[in-house]
Amino acid sequence: MSLLYAALVFGLVGQCLADISSEYNHFVALDPSQKIKFYWTVDQAEESISFAVEAVTTGWIGLGFSPSTGRMKGADIVIGWVKDGKPYLTDRHGEGYSLPPLDDSQDYKLISGTEKDGKTTMKFSRKFDTCDNQDYKFEEGTTRVIFAYHEEDPTSDTNMKKHSDKGSRSILLLNFVKTSKPNPSWKKLELLMRNMTIPKLHTSYMCRPFRLPDFGGKKHIVRFEPVVQPGNEGFVHHFVINECKGKFPDQLLNYTGNCIDYANMPAEILNCKRGDIIYGWGVGAGPFVYPEHVGYPVGMNDSGSVLIVEIHYDNPKNVEGRLDSSGVRLYYTSDLRAYDAGTLSVGLGVSSWMVIPPNQDHWITTGYCRKECTQKTLESSPLPEKGIKIISSFLHTHLAGRAIWTQHVRDGVQLPDIARDNNYDFNFQEIQVHAKEIHFRPGDEMIQQCKYNTKDRTKTTFGGLSTSEEMCINFITYYPRLRLLNSCSSSNRPAVYKFVEKHFPSFKAYSHKYYNPLVAAKPNWTDEMANDLRNFLDKENMISDCMNKANRSNFAEVIDPKNLGNKVTFNKPYQPPPSTCDVNSSSTALRVSIIHLSLISIWTIWALGAGVLSL
């Protein structure tokens, strides 16, 4: 296939923009040195994305979208350059660690290409779904963006020099946050690191607490936005904000330390990290803005007094002595909105009774939010139709997590997922803002599932707060805030206890609601044992945390069948609407069939008239 280039130069080789970021809603520096920058805007109505990539090179630029690995193989790749004033763009796919071949169908649309002051900028667009199996379908959840570039232009489609630099980064590509400027009447508060030295490590997590001011009564937080120190865009990867309730000593307000060093972390900081996650930001995202009728309440008696800012730094080249003062800026107002926002955590209860054997490439854990736990509270909602409206989701596992999703069930019928990330990356975490508010009605239920990979582990992975332990939770932001609706989870203690009873009977006496004796047993897992645990998890009932009123110290009472509940199930799976690809394929097939039948009819009529065919 010949090189793809613009037949007409006008409109394609435009002027170099003074500030390209003003054209796009999202931006990320793909490398710490900021030699390659990526911009994009999502058009939900047209189901398309407009892109721009700018690199410090006068040669070719390559950009790719990799489903989960962050590698070339299986990636959807676009390569562009500007030569002799003409922009070129080619749609390709990765088959290995060699020059990606051209796609049969060229689906990226070139908008413009410029080369100036040692930089090349390419602008292009593409549909979410091109109906091309050589392309990557853009979906909600994490996308691995890969990049590469070289100082020289290709001489042909099939002759270009190997990259001089490459890398990858995770982003939330389909980000539906509506961008707007803050209202001048809103007050702002900045929670920033103070010239903190970024650790000389590839990956690090640093925490700092901030005491909120005396707001003088109830206020609404209406906007969170990232504050990334200029020049550090390539180092600041993501951050999360935890709300800390209860007493917090003033002397710890000067604490800045490792967020995942649980053994040496002050207990008060650790307790705060167990609190609600009220904001999460990742590279490429903009501000989180509450709907005009919703605000997050502060300044009330039951409001948190301290917020913990946790920043993930990415320093793959182990740069030493880099200082950072990044953080978050929040806006609040005394002009209260119609509804308070709340946070609801849904999933599997965090305890050592969550068990994942080692050497597993596809282990699923499941937590349930049963209607018995929410119905009464949801019926007390001030909404005319009762229930709550879900604004966003913050899906959360630890290092072994590979995918995570939240299913929505109503009267035994599965509805569209509340949230899903098939390419989960612990080192990239961000709130998913839903394109439309999701109505969770009285009687509705949720199934929270996570997929894990422990092929690189030789020991059991238990549930817990450490990153080497695991979680399976969706922190949901919703309105209106309901007093008793902040957690809805379950536990699989009965199933794991059955496993202990079969394989480690001498340890079962040490079972406690919050302690799994498998921790002490230290199993040497076999395939048979892993299959046994999976079978117990599949068939045994679960403990619904809101319903089990057993004496915590009496484990036999905790797992008594009368205190257990059935799992959430559905008898009618969700059927997504047919994709435009299916519709177009059917239409094309129908047209071909009609043409084929028409030709047969014409030939039959001719043959009868010519005497070639007789009846």
Residues 6+ apart with CB under 8 A from 314: 32, 202, 203, 234, 235, 236, 237, 427
The pairing of beta strand 413-421 with beta strand 327-333 = unpaired
The answer to whether residues 468 and 454 touch, using CB atoms and an 8 Å cutoff, is no
- In this structure, what token pair is assigned to residue 564? 């257990």
Q: How far apart (Å, rounded) are the C-alpha atoms in residues 615 and 228?
A: 83
Segment holding 225, helix H or strand E: strand 219-227
- Residue matched to tokens 């238990």: 462
For the beta sheet containing 401-410, the strands, ordered from the edge strand earlier in sequence to the opposite edge, are 363-369, 445-452, 401-410, 413-421
Segment holding 390, helix H or strand E: strand 388-396
Q: How far apart (Å, rounded) are the C-alpha atoms in residues 576 and 85?
A: 46
Cβ neighbours of 382 (radius 10 Å):
10
The answer to whether residues 381 and 525 touch, using CB atoms and an 8 Å cutoff, is no
The answer to whether residues 337 and 222 touch, using CB atoms and an 8 Å cutoff, is yes
Residues 6+ apart with CB under 8 A from 98: none
Q: How far apart (Å, rounded) are the C-alpha atoms in residues 217 and 219?
A: 6
Q: How far is CA 528 from CA 185, 357, 499, 503, 507, in A?
A: 64, 11, 12, 11, 20
Which amino acid appears at position 112 of this protein?
Answer: S
- Residue matched to tokens 């950072």: 324
Which amino acid appears at position 326 of this protein?
Answer: S
- In this structure, what token pair is assigned to residue 587? 């239409």
- CA nearest 321: which of 209, 175, 415, 199? 199
440, exposed or middle or buried, with CB in 10 Å at 0-12, 13-18, 19+? buried
Catalytic residues, which ones? 205, 396
- CA nearest 419: which of 436, 400, 443, 442? 436
